[in-house]
Amino acid sequence: MTVIAKQPQHTQKIPFDNALLDRLMDEAGIDVLLATSKHNVQYLLGGHRAFFFDYMDAMGLSRYLPIVLYPKGAPEKAGFFGHRLEGFQRENKPFWTPETQTSASGSVDVMQKATDYLRKSGVNARRIGVEMAFLPLDSGTALRKAYPDSELKDALFVLERLRARKTPEELAKLKIASERVIESMQATIASHGPGTTTAEFTETLRCEETKRGLHFEYCLITAGTSLNRAPSDQRWEKGEILSVDSGGNYEGYIGDLCRMAIQGTPDAELEDMLAEIETNQRAAMKVIKAGAMGSEIYAIGEKLVGQSKHHNYMHFLAHGMGLVSHEAPRLTTSGPVPYDDYDAKRPLESGMVVSVETTLAHPKRGFIKLEDTAVVTDKGCDIYGEGARGWNRGGTAVA
């Protein structure tokens, strides 16, 4: 009698390195993973984002909460549990997960559906990995009720390390995002003259990024000598500088860059200040290369800041970029986002992405900054969004 081997239920290619995920889960002591953040659900499903909930969560009396269930070493038992409106997307582009349920309406019933499936699957669920910061209390309570004897463990580190090295497809999206942010900045600067408020400038920048296919996320902006970076009614007047630090999102990937502008012509001191920042940026990015220790970036950046006559007002920062602003590689314990310097003690890997920033918050001349996106390669780094690095000139007077 001929025996036909049973084929796995799923036929689509798994869109991430599941062997790496299995290893990371094993090291963390996690048997089954329940991912609930939009960015990690997108990553684990190969790009899916709920079209109805792309940039909001509230719905009725509850909220949207997607769940990707992944058992260690058993992708054939993985599942996705989403909102009923995602059923339309499922019809257009089926998910790779063998089990897919798009029939939930809130954060409690979706967890009940996921745990019901988990129980029936026979998967070991003694240690359940969840995203603690992205699990609502009512959903977590439902999980605890379903598995009162299981240990809940934070899976943030596991999922971050899974995403640390970007694929060529991810890098292509990051490059598009970065370049279009720069293009949007240049167009907005050129179209605004003296008298523009920083709120008006920000709204135009939002429109420029949107028409280039980006989702506008934020604009940190200062004018003149002010160090306040929130958009406001403050006017950008003749002779004054402007710093523009914006994040534009392309299919989930963030282009985050900062450039400078001026209404008029910069004097010698301003030219020197920005040139020094540019020198710092180039020197720090020059050491970025696969195999280099992550700490080398800070060794250069902080050394140059310390040697500057403006060192009391100058700051250097480098952090990872991708689906999240400030993700792996983690390079410092003293940055604005609290985390350890895990990657400072390890070699950089090809495909990692590093945002490099040098800031001069001068009390008399204002806020001067450049921020760049550098991609680690075997030979060095590729810089995304190279343009507009000098003093960009503001447009004609506001009518």
Q: 228-251 pLDDT, tens per residue?
A: 999 999 999 999 999 999 999 999
CA distance 307 to 287: 18
* Residue 5, in any domain of the structure: no
For 329-377, what is each residue's pLDDT tens digit?
999 999 888 899 999 999 999 999 999 999 999 999 999 999 999 999 9
Q: What pLDDT does 170 receive?
A: 97
Tell me the CB-side half-sphere exposure of residue 372, using CA atoms within 13 A: 27
140 and 178 part of one domain: no
Number of domains in the chain: 2
Answer yes or no: do 182 and 83 share one domain: no
Query: Quick check: is 29 in a domain?
Result: yes
- Please indicate, yes or no, whether residues 98 and 137 belong to a single structural domain of this protein: yes
Give the model's pLDDT for residue 11.
61
Look at residue 297 and tell me if it is in a domain.
yes
What confidence tier does 6 reach under pLDDT thresholds 50, 70, 90?
very low
Q: Looking at the structure, do residues 308 and 340 belong to the same domain, yes or no? A: yes
> Looking at the structure, do residues 28 and 139 belong to the same domain, yes or no?
yes
Same domain, 83 and 150: yes
pLDDT tops 70 at residue 10: no
Q: Which residues of 265-286 are buried (b: 16+ CB within 10 A; e: fewer)?
A: ebeeebeebbebbeebbebbbe
Single-letter residue type at 201: F
pLDDT in tens, 161-191: 999 999 999 999 999 999 999 999 999 999 9
Percentage of the chain exceeding pLDDT 90: 94
Q: Is residue 117 part of a domain?
A: yes
- CATH, residue 151: 3.40.350.10
Q: Express each pLDDT in 91-138 by its tens digit.
A: 999 999 999 999 999 999 999 999 999 999 999 999 999 999 999 999
How is residue 295 annotated by DSSP?
H
Residue 70 region, left (φ>0) first, then alpha (ψ -120 to 50), else beta? beta
Domain assignment of residue 202, given as a range: 168-393
Residues 253 and 376 in one domain: yes
Rounded to an integer, the average pLDDT of 222-232 is 98
CATH number at residue 351: 3.90.230.10
Kindly state the tokens that stand for 198.
């920083």
In this structure, the answer to whether residues 142 and 270 fall within a common structural domain is no
What are the residue ranges of helices labelled H in 75-197? 86-92, 107-121, 137-146, 156-163, 168-190
Is the same domain home to 113 and 233? no
Indicate if 312 and 200 belong to the same structural domain. yes
Mean of all residue pLDDT scores within the chain: 95
Lowest mean pLDDT, pick from 141-145, 254-258, 279-283, 331-335: 331-335
- Confidence (pLDDT) at 12: 82
Q: Among 115, 144, 163, give the residue marking a domain's end.
A: 163
pLDDT in tens, 35-62: 999 999 999 999 999 999 988 899 999 9
Residue 335's pLDDT is what? Answer: 86
Domain boundary among 163, 180, 212: 163
| Adjacent-strand bridge partners of 244 | 221, 259
pLDDT of residue 55: 83
Given a cut of 70, is residue 145 above it in pLDDT? yes
Instruction: Among 163, 179, 201, give the residue marking a domain's end.
Output: 163
